[in-house]
């Protein structure tokens, strides 16, 4: 995203502060003044939210791989990628590489399962989507409210590849979910969605950069969020259309509800276009629930709290409805509904 060095939990000099533009809403150095002690090893707990969908699994507990730590998909496959943290005031890092060969259809079911408290987790995913391959990455993030986590995904979508991503997060003390997409164009099609529902003093930061490197690529991005209490949602979406990437079609939307007087949204959508013949649009709205809709619902007998919950869920569920894989969509739907 910038010339800033790769984050390294053992080196405080790599912790970005808000003076680094890409981190201005997530001042890691303010939250993390010194490198954390390394997390001890821990036992794996629970089956994870995607256990009913089967498939292969890559599991990390406190940064340590339980089995393999890389995966190559060919044909139609499902892979559960579990980042489990079970630590108290310690830190751990991990990196994983996943690739989908030409013609592969990979359903990547990623979960961040946090136990313990005040840990620091740093996860890096490198994902290669070959020409003619399709990857759907679905990420569910649930961490303690005092946890710090940074997840960085580097996604390379080859010309003609398809990539679908949906991240759903409930926040942490400082939670950064970053996606960088190198978009190969030539019919490559990227959908990059996000959803956050934050309560208490939680924060989440959904940051993405999509770099259209060649002509005729599509990107569709929809992020929705709701913040209550003193929670804070951050959305930074950047779409770059490089010189020569004509015929690019890129759409970005971020829409949020602020349901607490002291809750906050920081949104920064950016389109940077160096090509001439492109279609790009972005929309960003922040608001409250519609008072006339709330009254209408109450007038029909729905109590105010229930009306609010129904409208909030209806607002967010649009993102879930965009998940094409039916079984995964239903897992996400019930996961989210239980947490609203």
Partner 1 sequence: MLKISNLHVSVGDKPILKGLTLDVPAGEVHAIMGPNGAGKSTLGYALSGRPGYEATEGSVDWNGENLLDLDPAARAARGVFLSFQYPIEIPGVPALTFVRTALNAQRRARGEDEVTAPVFLKMVKAASANLKMDFDMLKRPLNVGFSGGEKKRMEILQMALLEPSLLILDETDSGLDIDALRIVSEGVNALRSPDRAMLVITHYQRLLDYIKPDRVHVLAAGRIVASGGPELALQLEAEGYDKYLPQAA
Select 19 or 300, whichever has its Cβ closest to partner 1.
300
Select 39 or 223, whichever has its Cβ closest to partner 1.
223
Q: How far is the CB of 307 from partner 1 (least distance, A)?
A: 8
Phi and psi based region of residue 234 (left: phi greater than 0; alpha: psi -120 to 50; beta: remaining)? beta
Q: Lay out the sheet containing 162-169: strands in order across.
A: 64-65, 56-61, 76-88, 105-117, 134-142, 162-169, 189-198, 218-227, 249-258, 279-287
Q: What share of the chain is helix, strand, coil (3-state, %, to 5)?
A: 15, 50, 35
With a CB cutoff of 8 Å and minimum separation 6, the contacts of 281 are 250, 251, 252
Q: Is 12 in the site for partner 1 (CB under 8 A)?
A: no
Q: How far is the CB of 119 from partner 1 (least distance, A)?
A: 36
Among 244, 303, 324, 337, binds partner 1 (CB under 8 A): 303
Contact 100/126 with Cβ under 8 angstroms? no
> Per-residue x/- marks for partner 1, 241-280, CB under 8 A?
----------------------------------------
Query: In angstroms, how far is the first alpha carbon of the chain from the final one?
Result: 32
Among 41, 279, 281, 296, binds partner 1 (CB under 8 A): 296
Q: Is 291 in the site for partner 1 (CB under 8 A)?
A: yes
Please state, in angstroms and rounded to a whole number, the distance separating the CA atoms of residues 163 and 336: 22
Q: How far is the CB of 283 from partner 1 (least distance, A)?
A: 15
Name the nearest CA neighbour of 315 among 226, 232, 200, 236: 226
With a CB cutoff of 8 Å and minimum separation 6, the contacts of 217 are 183, 184, 185, 186, 187, 188, 189, 190, 245, 247, 248, 249, 250
Q: How far is the CB of 308 from partner 1 (least distance, A)?
A: 12
Among 3, 67, 288, 300, binds partner 1 (CB under 8 A): 300
> Per-residue x/- marks for partner 1, 160-199, CB under 8 A?
----------------------------------------
> Per-residue x/- marks for partner 1, 306-335, CB under 8 A?
xx--xx-xxx-xx-----------------
Q: How far is the CB of 309 from partner 1 (least distance, A)?
A: 10
Q: How far is the CB of 245 from partner 1 (least distance, A)?
A: 34
Please count the residues of this chain forming the interface with partner 1, following the rule CB under 8 A: 23
Select 21 or 306, whichever has its Cβ closest to partner 1.
306
Please state, in angstroms and rounded to a whole number, the distance separating the CA atoms of residues 278 and 266: 27
Q: How far is the CB of 293 from partner 1 (least distance, A)?
A: 5
Among 51, 131, 302, 340, binds partner 1 (CB under 8 A): 302
Select 273 or 317, whichever has its Cβ closest to partner 1.
317
Among 68, 88, 281, 304, binds partner 1 (CB under 8 A): 304
Are β-strands 203-212 and 232-241 bridged in parallel, bridged antiparallel, or unpaired?
Answer: parallel
Please state, in angstroms and rounded to a whole number, the distance separating the CA atoms of residues 58 and 125: 12
Name the nearest CA neighbour of 312 among 281, 284, 280, 337: 337
> In this structure, what are the phi and psi dihedrals at residue 327, rounded to the nearest 5 degrees?
-65, -40
- In 242-301 the beta strands, taken as DSSP E runs, fall at 249-258, 264-273, 279-287
Select 183 or 224, whichever has its Cβ closest to partner 1.
224
With contacts defined by CB under 8 A, name the span among 10-18, 225-233, 297-305, 331-339 that binds partner 1: 297-305
**Which residues contact partner 1 by CB under 8 A?**
290-293, 295-304, 306-307, 310-311, 313-315, 317-318
């Amino acid at each position: 995203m910038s010339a800033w060095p790769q984050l390294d939990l053992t080196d405080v000099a790599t912790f970005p502060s808000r003076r680094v533009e890409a981190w201005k809403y997530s001042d890691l150095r303010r939250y993390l003044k010194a490198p954390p002690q390394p997390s001890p090893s821990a036992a794996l707990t629970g089956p994870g939210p995607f256990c009913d969908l089967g498939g292969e699994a890559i599991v990390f507990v406190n940064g340590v791989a339980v089995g393999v730590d890389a995966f190559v998909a060919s044909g139609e496959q499902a892979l559960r990628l579990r980042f489990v943290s079970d630590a108290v005031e310690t830190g751990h890092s991990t990196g994983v590489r996943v690739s989908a060969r030409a013609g592969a259809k990979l359903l990547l079911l990623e979960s961040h399962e946090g136990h313990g408290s005040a840990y620091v987790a740093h996860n890096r995913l490198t994902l290669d989507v070959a020409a003619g391959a399709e990857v759907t990455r679905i990420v569910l993030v649930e961490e303690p409210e005092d946890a710090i986590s940074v997840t960085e995904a580097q996604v390379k979508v080859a010309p003609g590849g398809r990539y679908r991503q949906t991240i759903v997060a409930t926040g942490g003390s400082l939670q950064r979910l970053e996606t960088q997409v190198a978009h190969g164009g030539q019919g490559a099609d990227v959908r990059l969605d996000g959803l956050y529902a934050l309560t208490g003093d939680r924060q989440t930061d959904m940051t993405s950069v999509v770099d259209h490197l060649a002509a005729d690529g599509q990107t569709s991005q929809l992020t929705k969020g709701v913040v209550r209490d003193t929670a804070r949602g951050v959305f930074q979406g950047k779409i770059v259309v490089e010189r020569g990437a004509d015929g690019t079609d890129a759409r970005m939307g971020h829409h949020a509800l602020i349901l607490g007087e002291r809750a906050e949204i920081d949104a920064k959508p950016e389109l940077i276009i160096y090509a001439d013949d492109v279609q790009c649009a972005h929309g960003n709205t922040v608001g409250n629930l519609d008072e006339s809709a709330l009254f209408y619902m109450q007038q029909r007998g729905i109590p105010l709290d229930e009306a609010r919950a129904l409208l909030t869920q209806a607002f967010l569920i649009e993102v879930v409805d965009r998940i094409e894989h039916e079984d995964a969509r239903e897992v996400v739907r019930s996961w989210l509904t239980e947490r609203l």
